[in-house]
Chains A and B, each alone.
Chain A
Amino acid sequence: MQQDLQTHKPGAADRPYQGVGYYGQPALKASPFGWKTSGYIFLAGMSGSAQILGTAADLFGGPGMEKTARNARHVAMIGATLGPLLLIGDLHTPSRWYNMLRIFRRTSPMSIGSYILSGFGAFSAVTAAADWIGMKRVARVTQVPAALAGAGMSVYTAALLSSTSTPLWAAAPRLLAVRFGSSAMACGAAALSLGERIDGRPGNAERLDRVAMVASAVDLAASLASRREYEADHVAAPLEQGALGAVHKIGAIAVGAGIPLVCHAINAGRRRPSAALSVLGSLAVLAGGMALRTAILRAGNRSAERPADYFRFARTPPNTLNERKRTLLPDTAARRVLP
Chain B
Amino acid sequence: MGAVKDIPARAVPKRALDYAEPILPGMIPDESELTAGVTIVPGRSYGFFTDTTLCIGCKACEVACKEWNALPADDVGLKGTSYDNTGRLSANSWRHVAFVEKIGGDLDAGEGRGTERNTTTMPPFQSNWLMMSDVCKHCHNAPCLEACPTGSLFRTEFDTVVVQQDICNGCGYCVPACPFGVVDLNVADGKAHKCTLCYDRLKGGLEPACAKSCPTDSIQFGELPDLVERARERVDSLHERGATDAYLYGAPGSPGATGDLGHLNAFFLLTDRPETYGLPSAPTRASNRVAPALGTGLATMAGLTMVAVALFAANRRS
Contact = CB atoms under 8 A, between A and B. Distances in A.
Interface of A: 1, 4-5, 7-13, 15, 17-23, 25-33, 49, 52-53, 56-57, 59-62, 64-65, 90-97, 99-100, 102-103, 105-112, 114, 151-152, 154-156, 158-160, 162-166, 169-170, 173-178, 180-182, 184-185, 189, 203-204, 207, 210-211, 214-215, 218, 300, 304, 307, 310-311, 314-315, 317-319, 321-323, 325-326, 328-329, 331-335, 337-339
B114 interface: no
A266 B285 CA distance: 46
B189 to A, nearest CB: 8
Contacts of B37: none
Given A20-B275, A107-B287, A164-B147, A8 B248 contact: yes
A211 B225 contact: no
B260 A165 contact: no
Dominant secondary structure at the A interface: helix
A322 B293 CA distance: 12
B288 A325 contact: yes
Given A30-B176, A163-B287, A218-B304, A9 B280 contact: no
A279 to B, nearest CB: 19
Nearest to A174: B296
A155 B294 contact: yes
Contact of B167 (A102, A185, A333): A102
B143 A165 contact: yes
B60 interface: no
Contact of B180 (A27, A100, A107): A27
A11 B269 CA distance: 10
A264 B296 CA distance: 26
Contacts of B150: 96, 99-100, 102-103
Contacts of A19: 108
B155 interface: yes
Contacts of B301: 49, 52, 151, 154-155, 181, 184-185
B181 A28 contact: yes
Contact of B311 (A22, A97, A211): A211
B293 A176 contact: yes
Given A165-B283, A311-B280, 5 more contacts: A23-B84, A32-B172, A185-B301, A204-B315, A300-B176
15 contacts: A5-B253, A26-B88, A31-B173, A56-B305, A56-B309, A107-B287, A108-B146, A155-B300, A163-B289, A165-B284, A170-B289, A181-B297, A218-B304, A319-B258, A331-B141
Contacts, number: 382
Nearest to A115: B149
Nearest to A210: B311
A314 B283 contact: yes
Contact of B262 (A22, A26, A109, A331): A331
Contacts of A152: 298
Contacts of A159: 289-290, 293-294, 297
Interface stretch (B24-32, B206-214, B238-246): B238-246
B48 interface: no
Contact of B81 (A23, A94, A334): A23
Interface in B85-102: 87-88, 98, 100
A317 B308 CA distance: 39
Contacts of B275: 17, 20-22, 27, 307, 311
B169 A93 contact: yes
Contacts of B247: 8-13
B235 to A, nearest CB: 5
B76 to A, nearest CB: 17
A32 B252 contact: no
A11 B245 contact: yes
Given A7-B232, A22-B98, A15 B187 contact: no
B54 interface: no
A151 B306 CA distance: 13
B151 interface: yes
Q: Size band of the B side of the interface?
A: 35 or more
B78 interface: no
B4 interface: no
Contacts of A307: 275, 278
B140 A27 contact: no
B83 interface: no
Contact of A155 (B191, B262, B289, B298): B298
Contact of B183 (A13, A29, A155, A311): A29
A62 B315 contact: yes
B276 A22 contact: yes
A181 B45 CA distance: 42
Contacts of A163: 147, 177, 286-287, 289-290, 293
A110 B312 contact: no
A57 B307 CA distance: 12
B147 A338 contact: no
B148 to A, nearest CB: 7
Contact of A93 (B81, B155, B190, B316): B190
Interface in B246-292: 246-249, 251-255, 258-260, 262-263, 270-292
A65 B316 CA distance: 9
Contacts of B185: 32, 92
A314 B280 contact: yes
B313 interface: yes
B228 interface: yes
Nearest to B285: A322
